[in-house]
């Protein structure tokens, strides 16, 4: 099954895979070769890729996504997102500091727009920290 992970910056992944775990608005789904056709909204979370059937969990790849669209058919998956940060690219200390700033922004929000922006930032950095943790555990 072929995966294309496409962001605003370009293509992040364009290769054959065996399994994809993806966060959707209805919950996390697993996608394997032969999956029924589906178009759904992706929600913020960890996108998990297993490249070969026999790959152990320590070889999984993780990407932090902030939502987007999943297009699935029996032989191809296309994930369209604004950004997809690979576990290698996430600096935990920076994400932790950004999460703290977002939490303060939420506390000091003066209107609904500021509150919504704070919640988006909180979600983004919580996902990034989760993916960084998964990536770190994988390497251990």
Which pTM does this prediction carry?
Answer: 0.88
Rounded Cα–Cα distance for residues 47 and 63 (Å): 5
Q: How far apart are CA 23 and CA 87, in angstroms?
A: 16
The span from the CA of 36 to the CA of 54, in Å, is 23
pLDDT, tens digit, 9 for 90 and up, residues 84-107: 999 889 998 999 999 999 999 999
Bridge-based pairing of strands 38-50 and 10-16 is unpaired
Q: What is the pLDDT of residues 14-72, one digit of tens each?
A: 999 999 999 999 999 999 999 999 999 999 999 999 999 999 988 999 999 988 999 99
Enumerate domains of the chain plus CATH numbers: 2-87 (2.60.15.10), 90-139 (1.20.5)
């Amino acid at each position: 099954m072929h995966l294309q992970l496409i962001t605003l910056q370009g293509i992040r992944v364009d290769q054959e895979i065996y399994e994809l775990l993806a966060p959707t608005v209805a919950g996390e789904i697993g996608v394997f070769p032969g999956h029924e056709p589906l178009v759904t909204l992706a929600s913020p979370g960890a996108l998990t890729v297993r490249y070969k059937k026999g790959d152990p969990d320590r070889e999984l790849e993780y990407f932090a996504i902030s939502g987007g669209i999943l297009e699935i058919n029996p032989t191809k998956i296309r994930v369209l997102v604004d950004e997809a940060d690979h576990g290698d690219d996430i600096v935990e200390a920076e994400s932790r500091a950004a999460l703290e700033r977002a939490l303060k922004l939420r506390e000091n929000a003066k209107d609904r727009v500021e509150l919504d922006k704070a919640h988006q930032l909180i979600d983004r950095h919580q996902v990034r920290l989760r993916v960084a943790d998964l990536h770190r555990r994988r390497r251990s």
